[in-house]
Amino acid sequence: MKKDIILAGVGGQGILSIAAIIGTAAVSSGIYVKQAEVHGMSQRGGDVQSNLRLSSAPIASDLIPFGKADMIISVEPMESLRYLPYLSPEAWLITNTTPFINIPNYPEVENVMAEVRKVKNHIVLDADQMATEAGSARSANMVILGAASPFLDIAMEVLEKAIRSTFGRKGEEVVNMNLNALRIGRQLADAQMTN
Amino acid sequence: MQKLVLLGDEAIAQAAIDAGISGIYAYPGTPSTEITEYIQHSKEAAAKGIRACWTANEKTAMETALGMSYAGKRTMVCMKHVGLNVAADPFINSAITGANGGLLIVSADDPSMHSSQNEQDSRFYGKFALVPILEPSNQQEAYDMVRYGFDLSEHFRLPVMLRITTRLAHSRSGVETRPQREQNAVSLPTNLRQFVLLPAIARKQYKNLLSQQQALISESESTGFNIFIEGTDKSKGIITTGLAYNYLMENFADRKVPYAIVKIGQYPLPINMIEKLANECDEILVMEEGMPLVEEHLAGLLHRGIKVRGRLDGTLPRDGELNPNIVAVALGFADTRGEEIPAIVASRPPSLCVGCPHTDSYIALNEAMESYSKGRVFADIGCYTLAALPPLQSINSCVDMGASITMAKGAADAGLVPAVAVIGDSTFTHSGMTGLLDAVIHKAPITVLILDNSTTGMTGGQSSEAFGRLKDIVTGLGVEPEHIRILKPLRKNHAENVQAISEELNYDGVSVIIPTRECIQTLNKRLREKFKNKK
């Protein structure tokens, strides 16, 4: 098993919590993990990414080579495109459709989505709206993780357990909110793939 | 053995706790900050009574650690690479005094300048000081090298440098820990003049340091952090340092490289291993995460020896960090780059947060400066450096910690009046106070804005030594009380803030304006915690 994942977003959007849950789930399954993060200046509203590598064999590099990523998981649509040179031809791009506009020259959102749809395998979802409708606006991240879950080679139960252990200290209410977000993301991905 | 998933920085911190340190001293700086934070948040470290202190700057951190080492206890000092410039005086001299309790200096380099002004390579400092350097290639090695580094330091009675880079500092992986050991008891050096660097003593100590070098090389040959890996294809041999080894391995799916490799993790360099490689192979390709230290060494000034390739001959780029693709190209493999980034993707530089007090300070400063020609504002290192970019475009310099005040004074001396300095509260206590004293003594016509957000913002909100003391410090340095102005940077106070800044720009002497409002990040964090506790 080998999954090389690029997590993308804008500083402050919380991509690291997605990485932490996948990482926890992988470690609990006895899978090797390496995860490179961005700290420091870029966290102030700049573009940020995390390279998350999972493998049943020991992993050499902390960084994913060009053209070898198995998926891009992005919480922001334009950011999902920034890492296309890393994506392998058969890989999946999973992205939120809600833009984070903090620059004056942000492109037209339709043009961004048109570029996203050029990627052969993609899942697009308005995670912010789905999370809000489910009554947990702050768990858009987990909706996106749910949408990416079919491609992770990690069982849903293991991901759910990782969510429980990560959010456990924040109380049962927060845990259930995030579990619910994970499930609606998964349902949407399943539906998009059968279409 | 316990297996934890840790950042490189955290592995170093946990290793230091387990190795029996009694204190860690540091000034925050990316990518080193998380080492000290981990120990500050560790219940284990608290139970053991380990001192975990932020200091005014890297120099005071280094000196405090040297004092703890003098008293016989193990101690670690952490900084980013440019922090070592600030600590260079005590660092270089600590090699001459030597250590008593184990003394480990962690310097975190930032090749590719993700969050820095330059990409200097700390190994040059280590070589310059003649101390052993350890350079891990992964999180487990980082953990293991800390324990070994303290043993090495206590065995040779020398400070030891641990050199890491951003990718290791900020990357997580599984780490197996080892049983904890006790801290040292207080014990003074057997020679109470060891730390007295009077010329007569320093000369003797320096000879002693030189005489240890051969033993340090032997140590490098035998510890296992430098290894020789045999190869079948003799057309080239490869030397890797730090993370370069991983990028090399990444390019061979079965991890079987046909070339012989010397994997470097400890300096001084293992001469026998390198000689064996040179004897066996037609040429040597040097892959270094950092500047070409080993390569320059091997190639020599006249390139008359063995054929050496690397960053100097263009086989690898001269600057920036390495990655698997750069190494692939150097090995002659195909570039695996996928689709290009679509042209519509705009760059998204970092920016000041919504609600940041600095924004209001700069908008007021910009307006007050409108009646003068451009190019008069000297700034410093921190979040507020982002005002160089649109939309604010307020500042004209960012060089090193504290340089705003001193550069403004120099420019004013040259006739650029008024000249303005902009510096943060934490940067001011790091290296701004001495420059302000210069300005006061010479009555320089400068206006200094100390942006007081009551924290060290850029690195994530660590405590600031200036907190609650700025006005007293500035008064104590001799700034006239009527030219110390405290402002509240809020939109509603804009007109009166512009007025105050304009008045001080007109004053023919040192003025200090202190816009004071808490960092929006630490404020939000504080309010969240308050809310949580109330619930």
Look at residue B2 in the predicted model and tell me its pLDDT: 64
- B34 at A interface, C-beta within 8 A: yes
A-B contacts (CB, under 8 Å): 152
Q: Which residues of chain B have pLDDT under 70?
A: 1-2, 532-535
Q: Which string of b and e fits B316-330 if b means at least 16 CB within 10 Å?
A: beeeebbbbbbbbeb
Q: What are phi and psi of B198, to 5 degrees?
A: -65, 150
pLDDT for the residue B207: 98
* A63-87 pLDDT, tens digit each: 999 999 999 999 999 999 999 999 9
CB-based contact, A101 to chain B, within 8 Å: no
DSSP string covering A11-38: TTS-HHHHHHHHHHHHHHTT-EEEEE--
Structure tokens at A146: 């749910």
Whole-complex ipTM: 0.93
Asked if A67's CB is within 8 angstroms of B324's CB, the reply is: no
Better-scored residue on pLDDT, B104 or A136: B104
> At A125, which helix (H) or strand (E)?
strand A121-125
The answer for residues whose C-beta is within 8 angstroms of residue B350's C-beta and 6 or more apart is A11, A41, A42, A43, A44, A45, A46, B386
Per-residue model confidence (pLDDT) at position A97: 97
- Nearest-by-Cβ selection for A40 from B31, B174, B386: B31
Enumerate the residues of chain B whose CB falls inside 8 A of the CB of residue A35.
Answer: 171-173
Phi, psi of B53 (to 5 degrees): -120, 135
CB-based contact (8 Å) between A35 and chain B? Answer: yes
B71 to each of B90, B141, B204, B253, how far by Cα in Å? 17, 28, 22, 50
B323 at A interface, C-beta within 8 A = yes
Determine whether the interchain pair B323/A65 forms a contact, defined as Cβ–Cβ distance below 8 Å.
yes
The pLDDT value given to residue B534: 60
The pLDDT of residue B533 is 64
**Which residue in chain A has the smallest CA separation from B167?**
A36
**A10·B30 Cβ contact <8 A:** no
Report the candidate in B346, B315, B400 with the shortest Cα–Cα distance to residue B88.
B400
DSSP assignment, residue A103?
S
What is the reported pLDDT for B304?
85
What pLDDT digit, counting tens, does each position of B339-383 carry?
999 999 999 988 899 999 999 999 999 999 999 999 999 999 999
Cα separation, B42 vs B37, in Å, equals 8
Residue length of chain B:
535
Domains delineated in chain A: 2-100+110-194 (3.40.920.10)
Nearest to B39 by CA among B70, B3, B9, B81: B9
**Mean pLDDT, range A107-125, rounded to an integer:** 97
Q: Which of B392, B387, A179 is nearest to B404 (CA)?
A: B387
Structure tokens at B274: 């390198």
* Percent of chain A whose predicted confidence (pLDDT) is above 90: 82
The DSSP 8-state label assigned to residue B431 in this structure reads: I
- Residues B245 and A148: their CA atoms lie apart, in Å, by 32
d(CA B491, CA B495): 9
Give me the domains of chain B, ranges plus CATH numbers: 3-185+194-211 (3.40.50.970), 227-330 (3.40.50.920), 357-522 (3.40.50.970)
Q: Please state, in angstroms and rounded to a whole number, the distance separating the CA atoms of residues B480 and B267.
A: 52
Name which of A126, A119, A156 is nearest A143 in CA terms: A126
In this predicted structure, what is the pLDDT of residue A42?
A: 67
Q: How many CB atoms lie within 10 A of CB A153?
A: 15
Residue of B115, B171, B255 lying closest to A35 (CB–CB): B171
Both tokens of B218, joined, read 């032997």
Task: Look at residue B87 in the predicted model and tell me its pLDDT.
Answer: 98
Tokens describing residue A43: 């966290």
Q: CA nearest A119 in B: which residue?
A: B339
Q: What's the pLDDT tens digit per position in A153-190?
A: 999 999 999 999 989 988 999 999 999 999 999 999 99
Q: Which of B235, B290, B223 is nearest to B260 (CA)?
A: B235
Stretch 157-176 of chain A: residues touching chain B, C-beta under 8 Å? none
Do the Cβ atoms of A105 and B344 come within 8 Å? no
